[in-house]
């Protein structure tokens, strides 16, 4: 729960600093936490044009998250030995 609160605070702060619309922030946040299924749905709530953006963000997050997670595990293994 603490990571979700921290994520929300950082997203709101970055969105306010960059002057991003709330719909885009909500879609990006859901792509980060929810995944491929829920991000386009959240985007559709705010605006029809955010549906493909939510899908792309979620797919990119899954692809990068998988390989960055594997890279982190490999680096941790190298540090421990």
Burial class from Cβ neighbours inside 10 Å (0-12, 13-18, 19+) for residue 74 reads exposed
Spatial separation of the C-alpha atoms in residues 23 and 31, rounded to whole Å: 12
Confidence of residue 18 (pLDDT cuts 50, 70, 90): very high
- DSSP line for 24-49: HHHHHHHHHHT-TTHHHHHHHHH-TT
Q: Is the pLDDT of residue 17 over 90?
A: yes
Q: Is the pLDDT of residue 81 over 80?
A: no
Q: Which pTM does this prediction carry? A: 0.70
Q: Is the pLDDT of residue 35 over 80?
A: no
| pLDDT, greater one: 16 or 35 | 16
Name the phi and psi angles at 35, rounded to 5: 110, -165
List the domain range (segments joined by +) for residue 21.
2-80
Number of domains in the chain: 1
Supply the pLDDT for residue 31. Answer: 84
Q: Alpha-carbon torsion 24, 28, 34, 36, what sign?
A: positive
């Amino acid at each position: 729960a603490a990571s979700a609160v921290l994520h929300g605070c950082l997203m709101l702060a970055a969105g306010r600093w960059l002057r991003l619309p709330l719909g885009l922030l909500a879609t990006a946040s859901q792509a980060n936490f929810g995944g491929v299924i829920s991000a386009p749905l959240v985007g559709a709530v705010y605006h029809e044009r955010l549906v493909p953006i939510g899908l792309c963000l979620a797919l990119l997050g899954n692809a990068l998250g998988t390989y960055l997670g594997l890279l982190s595990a490999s680096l941790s293994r190298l540090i421990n030995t």
